């Protein structure tokens, strides 16, 4: 029997096929046994053991259901117990099961035991089931006909849902077509090329796994999914193979090329290179040059309000003033953001983000910090600009620096491009820190996140 994996069976009806063949084969064999001329000797003409009543070698079985061929197989050896409660089949090959409402399934097994009274089939030394959608290999399985359930204990591997799979404790209900397993790793080829011209694969692992009855949606718990361009970790992940859409829910962590996200729910549209994050979204925009897709710890990101900040700073160093007023370093340090929703395009040539739900941003530099508030924000990764907007007629855009500088406006657009210090806005009110000598008076020490500036 070949142990190589062929295309995975869409539903474990294949194994049902194996059981069905053997069960119906028994019906024909039973009629022979009841004739009883072979009660003392097997069909081979040789004496048999105390438990074995009949043995047969090298024959084909065909089973019919209402004049329709339901199953067939080639069997090397069959041993039937004297009480007819069990029959042991060895080297079952070229098995076919023909369901009345679907494609045929093929099966093989090294050794199987059919329990007549329990109507149960057990493959003990290897099993292989195949159809156009599924190809699975395992050391053993149990098919329980009364409850229409196939149980595979231990390791099962092969092809399933369009990819390669390894799992344990697989269960299939052959009536509802529901399939589940534990400790799953699934690897599926992605059809289109990636941004760098490579052909990648989805690799998804999970503690528990379910395949929808139509075979289109795979569901995982305690899951981690990656295609090499993104990593998604969540309590639950659903993957739709046809559309390449991945939906993650519960304690979602997303790691991408330009940004990492922590949120309640994320939907990744793989073909479009687009992702939507909702719930309480905490985003870390990576610093320039940090483009490695890798898991990392998320920094603490908490909202503060402009009103909660102290308004009488103790002064700032010249280094702080120079660094915070230099917009050329905007991409040199990570930016932490909290929002209700982030829609993010990460395809090269189309990189952009729409941030809504009153986003709050904080950037910590080596010399102080910058804080920002707005009704919504827009980042254009191709033009390298960041735009903050207010509701119509309102000044909801606010930028506060730890040296005391404050900007309030209807909208502000600033460049994040290296060497470009430009910033523009509408209806802007600016309040800048200046001491009597137009330089900071304090020498040393960086101000903390709770202060805003000095005299004006």
Which pLDDT value is given to residue 443?
39
In a domain, 242, yes or no: no
Which pLDDT value is given to residue 128?
87
Low-confidence ranges of the chain (pLDDT < 70): 1-50, 52-53, 63, 65, 99-103, 191-199, 310-315, 435-456
In a domain, 281, yes or no: no
In a domain, 229, yes or no: no
Cα separation, 286 vs 274, in Å, equals 18
In a domain, 210, yes or no: no
Query: What is this structure's pTM?
Result: 0.79
Which pLDDT value is given to residue 14?
37
Last-in-domain residue among 118, 133, 148: 133
Cα separation, 93 vs 403, in Å, equals 80
Cα separation, 340 vs 279, in Å, equals 6
Pair 398, 368: CB distance under 8 Å? no
In a domain, 189, yes or no: no
In a domain, 32, yes or no: yes
Q: How many domains, in total, are found in the chain?
A: 2
Last-in-domain residue among 112, 133, 154: 133
CATH number at residue 393: 2.60.450
Identify the domain containing residue 41 by its residue range: 1-133
- Can you spell out the DSSP letters for 385-422? EEEEE-STT---EEEEETTS-EEEESEEEEE-STT---
Cα separation, 409 vs 431, in Å, equals 12
Query: 366 by DSSP, 3-state: which?
Result: coil
In a domain, 55, yes or no: yes
Which pLDDT value is given to residue 124?
80
Query: 143 by DSSP, 3-state: which?
Result: strand
Last-in-domain residue among 111, 133, 155: 133
- Can you spell out the DSSP letters for 274-294? EEEEEEEEEEEEPPTT-----
Query: 320 by DSSP, 3-state: which?
Result: helix
Which pLDDT value is given to residue 191?
63
Cα separation, 111 vs 251, in Å, equals 46
Dihedral class, residue 133 (left if φ above 0, else alpha if ψ from -120 to 50, else beta) = alpha
Q: What does R_g of the chain's alpha carbons equal in angstroms?
A: 34
Cα separation, 240 vs 231, in Å, equals 17
In a domain, 199, yes or no: no
């Amino acid at each position: 029997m070949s142990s190589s994996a062929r295309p995975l069976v869409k539903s474990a009806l294949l194994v049902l096929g194996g059981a069905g063949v053997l069960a119906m084969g028994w019906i024909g064999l039973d009629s022979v046994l009841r004739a009883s001329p072979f009660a003392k000797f097997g069909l081979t003409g040789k004496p048999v053991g105390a438990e074995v009543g009949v043995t047969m070698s090298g024959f084909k079985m065909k089973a019919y259901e209402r004049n329709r061929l339901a199953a067939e197989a080639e069997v090397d050896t069959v041993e039937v117990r004297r009480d007819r409660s069990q029959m042991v089949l060895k080297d079952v090959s070229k098995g076919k099961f023909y369901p009345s409402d679907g494609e045929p399934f093929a099966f093989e097994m090294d050794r199987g035991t059919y329990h007549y009274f329990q109507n149960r089939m057990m493959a003990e030394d290897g099993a292989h089931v195949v159809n156009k959608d599924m190809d699975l290999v395992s050391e053993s399985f149990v098919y329980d006909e009364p409850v229409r359930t196939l149980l595979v204990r231990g390791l099962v591997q092969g092809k399933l849902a369009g990819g390669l799979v390894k799992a344990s404790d697989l269960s299939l209900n052959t009536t509802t077509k529901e399939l589940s397993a534990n400790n799953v790793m699934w690897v599926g080829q992605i059809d289109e090329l990636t941004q760098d011209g490579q052909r990648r694969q989805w690799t998804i692992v999970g503690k528990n796994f379910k395949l929808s009855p139509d075979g289109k949606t795979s569901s995982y718990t305690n899951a981690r999914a990656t295609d090499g361009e993104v990593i998604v970790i969540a309590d639950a992940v659903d993957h739709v193979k046809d559309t390449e859409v991945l939906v993650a829910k519960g304690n979602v962590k997303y790691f991408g090329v330009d940004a990492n996200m922590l949120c309640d729910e994320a939907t990744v549209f793989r073909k479009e290179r687009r992702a939507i994050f909702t719930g309480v979204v905490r985003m870390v925009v990576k610093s320039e040059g940090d483009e490695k897709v890798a898991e990392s710890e998320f920094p603490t990101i908490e909202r503060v309000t402009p009103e909660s900040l102290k308004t009488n700073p103790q002064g700032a160093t010249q280094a702080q003033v120079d660094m915070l007023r230099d917009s050329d370093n905007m991409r040199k340090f990570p930016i932490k953001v909290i929002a209700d929703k982030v829609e993010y395009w990460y395809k090269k040539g189309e990189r952009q983000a729409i941030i809504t739900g009153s986003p709050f941003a904080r950037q910590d530099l080596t010399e102080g910090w910058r804080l920002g508030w707005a009704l919504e924000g827009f980042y254009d990764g191709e033009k390298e600009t960041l735009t903050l907007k207010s509701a119509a007629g309102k000044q909801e855009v606010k930028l506060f620096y730890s040296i005391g500088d404050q900007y309030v406006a209807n909208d502000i657009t600033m460049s994040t491009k290296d060497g470009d210090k430009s910033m523009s806005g509408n209806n802007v009110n600016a309040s800048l820190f200046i001491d009597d000598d137009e330089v900071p008076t304090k020498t040393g020490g960086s101000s903390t996140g709770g202060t805003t500036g000095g005299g004006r």
